Structure 1
């Protein structure tokens, strides 16, 4: 079937998530059990589901090895609150995703993934997270396999806001701070995410720092439009070690304006912030040995 790929902004939502291990030779049973457990927890916690369920594959499902899968569904609170059991309840951030829709049985989902990967290779975007399958019409609603509708989403970032360099991690953190300062930003926060994740949830990651940067001149313009927009003033820049290299990625400021009533007024300011972040990343890349993305 023909596939059409689009890049869209996902809106923030509250999501109930359950992580399970899925075995390739028992995928149908394991996915069915995971979905059933997710909905049982939602019902026990008095949560109302407000969207289709999804699965996010955290490993290479095609490798033949068991893979960690996050089962998720958007929810809202009902009349009261209850337990979430083994699930996690979290608020998502706005994200830019490349996505396409597959119609029909799951045996041909690979064609949709191939289309997305080919599109990404020439798109000017780079994937920054695992794929998610959103079951718009699942087995419980489909009359036959041909009625199934599955949306595949891959989180992406514009290449100008993401670089991969050969410089050591600590050197890149220092260079990132300097490049941000040179382009009008003040670093307000510097969080050691590796230590924070390990302490809070026991999750082990490689070196990872999250810098919260603010451009005072642009911040003043934002507050002049709406004094309640303080949470939008910090631009998040991540620096992490990956496969012997260091990756620097910036959250696109334009993603943060979509849900605001004053979005039209904020767009030119967000564009200036985006350009300044891109210039900072370009400066980092210019002074290091870049590798192919």
Structure 2
């Protein structure tokens, strides 16, 4: 890994945002146009920039793709006159993020992204939002491409027990999860292809997502003996979401499905179920690690 990764927390600030489409093949032109419009809007409605601009990408950004992006600018709070543009002025909340600083032209920025995602995948952190590029030295300020400085940020939280990012495509990850569930005493009763089932229609885009419904006969029998209404503990959902060349795997925490104070006996079963699901996630993670 050639880049240093750092974790920090942003300070609250007032932020002007403009939503704009960015085409991969015309990214430089589209980002430049969006930035110009952003600064023009700030001046027109009386907001003074207080920091560097940024772009947050809401979707896959690669050859042949067009994605929605939020162009953002920290600003002083001020009056907002009537305008017809699709803009947002909001007060941000403190956000924990991991970041990498890229020096130089954008043609090699993909290496910085890969290092950032690889570092997060190997840490106890979990990416919980889209990436943001902060232009510490933007093209209009640089004399030479080597002068450009871009900070790439990913919001992160501490990785929960029941989530993992797997370095595998979704079909491969789904096969591994199904096999591991079987090895750990679960039966996969249902599998839903969310993109095929729920996509709104032609021209819409949905992230590739599978939902596995897993059942454990022993746990179900124990739960129903205690309470015939304990249907929530009969099946557990494991969600797999494609994210580039990786797959995010998350399981529902069974303890969220019961009242731990009023349903103490069922809570004990839920804790057992969580422990078993954690062992599935850990086994999947171990199986995906390269061998020497």
Q: Deviations over 1:166-224 (max 9, x none)?
A: 9xxxxxxxxxxxxxxxxxxxxxxxxxxxxxxxxxxxxx999xxxxxxxxxxxxxxxxxx
Query: In structure 2, what is the equivalent of residue 227 of structure 1?
Result: none
Instruction: Indicate how the Cα distance of structure 1 residues 247 and 97 shifts in structure 2: closer, same or farther if over 3 A, else same.
Output: farther
Query: In structure 2, what is the equivalent of residue 87 of structure 1?
Result: 87
Q: TM-score by structure 1 length?
A: 0.57
Deviation of residue 90 (structure 1)? Answer: 1.3
Query: In structure 1, what is the equivalent of residue 183 of structure 2?
Result: none
Deviation of residue 25 (structure 1)? Answer: 1.9
Query: In structure 2, what is the equivalent of residue 21 of structure 1?
Result: 21
Query: In structure 1, what is the equivalent of residue 41 of structure 2?
Result: 41
Instruction: Indicate how the Cα distance of structure 1 residues 248 and 32 shifts in structure 2: closer, same or farther if over 3 A, else same.
Output: farther
Query: In structure 1, what is the equivalent of residue 121 of structure 2?
Result: 121
1:62 and 2:51 correspond: no
Task: Pick the structure with greater CA Rg.
Answer: 2
Local SS of the residue matching 1:48: coil
Deviation of residue 44 (structure 1)? Answer: 1.1
1:133-148 equivalences under 5 Å are 133-148=133-148
Inter-partner Cα distance in structure 1 for 2:43 and 2:161: 41
Deviation of residue 64 (structure 1)? Answer: 2.2
Q: TM-score by structure 2 length?
A: 0.57
Contact 2:47 2:75 in 1 (8 A): yes
Q: How many pairs align?
A: 191
Give 5+ residue unaligned stretches, structure 1: 167-203, 207-239, 250-280
Give 5+ residue unaligned stretches, structure 2: 165-173, 175-205, 210-237, 242-247, 254-269, 286-292
1:155 and 2:155 correspond: yes
Contact 1:15 1:75 in 2 (8 A): yes
Inter-partner Cα distance in structure 1 for 2:120 and 2:90: 29
Deviation of residue 82 (structure 1)? Answer: 2.2
